[in-house]
Amino acid sequence: MNQLDQLKQHTVVVADTGNFRQMAQFAPRDATTNPSLILKAVQQPEYAPLLAETVAAHAGTPLDAVVDQVLVRFGREILRIVPGRVSTEVDARLSFDTEATVARAERLIDLYAAAGIGRERVLIKIAATWEGIRAAERLERAGIHCNLTLLFAFCQAVACGDAGVRLISPFVGRIYDWYKKSAGAAWDEAAMSGANDPGVKSVRAIFEHYKRHGIATEVMGASFRNTGQIVALAGCDLLTIAPELLAALQASDAPVAKALDADAARTLPLPEVHLDEKGFRWALNQDAMATEKLAEGIRPFATDAGKLDALIDGLKR
């Protein structure tokens, strides 16, 4: 078997793309999108008619509502291909506004429902700020399941578990990027690869904490730079992978062994951890990598959301 097929024996594989026509060849169970991926997709010629059709059908609707219609239209097309769930992201510019995040998430779910898609097939993607986690807590209580993204710190994972979030997306590649840049010339790529990769280690710590303490939140590793990071997390609940890395896995027949083991994690002597708001904010503040990467992650997503707004607004005129 190729590496992708081997990986599927240990982990649920998720496609990380807005290009739904590219997905079928990899047979993922779920798919994730974000503002940058949707913006990239809608600028491709093959998606121009779908975008124009969606905008034209809602020409008299406020811009933010038309944007949500476009996001849901892409989500609907993705769900024709994957048998599981699609993650659709709330506007990153609402990352510090709990009430607005809840309202936007509810509207997205209503749009999916109007198209005949049940909420069990949708995850609302929200940045893992304190305000975003509080929004997700409320949504989960209402039966709307969430994917907390831009997760770089253990404290974010703890708060998400306490909030009863359905799924988290701890980032691997961006953590790796930060530590590599910080180390400069002292960085030893060979020594910091595989299980020693700082992004891989972060996901492993979260996975083991959740399994040890019976936290039901699913762990989905995200943001990969190479297939070695993916293989080092085989056994994680889910892994969301960009098409170019899915293709690389499909092209290789190197062995893929289970690296994360939920049963083994349940026996580890790990302390139980809970955080209130003050504890969360202090822990995040003390983690320079996570603080920087969370802010850096929100900014380009917000910028691309603005670009998507401008593109759609131009079509409305």
Say which CATH number the domain at 134 has: 3.20.20.70
pLDDT tens digits, one per residue of 210-245: 999 999 999 999 999 999 999 999 999 999 999 999
User: Which residue, among 9, 137, 44, 29, has the nearest Cα to 78 in the 3D structure?
Assistant: 29
Structural domain of 290: 3-316
Residue 316 has pLDDT above 90, yes or no: no
User: Which residue, among 82, 93, 155, 162, has the nearest Cα to 123 in the 3D structure?
Assistant: 82
Rounded Cα distance, 165 and 137, in Å = 6
Residue 98 has pLDDT above 90, yes or no: yes
Provide the whole-model pTM: 0.97
Residue 298 has pLDDT above 80, yes or no: yes
User: Which residue, among 108, 42, 45, 39, has the nearest Cα to 76 in the 3D structure?
Assistant: 108
pLDDT tens digits, one per residue of 240-291: 999 999 999 999 999 999 999 999 999 999 999 999 999 999 999 999 999 9
Categorize the per-residue pLDDT at 96 as very low, low, confident or very high, splitting at 50, 70 and 90.
Answer: very high
Cβ 123 vs Cβ 87: under 8 Å: yes
Count of the separate structural domains present in the chain? 1
Q: How far is CA 109 from CA 44, 99, 101, 119, in A?
A: 26, 16, 12, 7
For residue 256, the model assigns a pLDDT of 98
Residue 317 has pLDDT above 80, yes or no: no
For residue 59, the model assigns a pLDDT of 85
Give the range among 17-21, 92-96, 116-120, 129-133 with minimum mean pLDDT.
17-21
Catalytic residues: 125
For residue 83, the model assigns a pLDDT of 97
pLDDT tens digits, one per residue of 135-192: 999 999 999 999 999 999 999 999 999 999 999 999 999 999 999 999 999 999 999 9
For residue 163, the model assigns a pLDDT of 98
What is the average per-residue pLDDT within 199-208? 98
User: Which residue, among 23, 54, 52, 58, has the nearest Cα to 37 in the 3D structure?
Assistant: 23
pLDDT tens digits, one per residue of 39-81: 999 899 999 899 999 999 998 899 999 999 999 999 999 999 9
Rounded Cα distance, 154 and 227, in Å = 23
For residue 149, the model assigns a pLDDT of 98
Residue 127 has pLDDT above 80, yes or no: yes
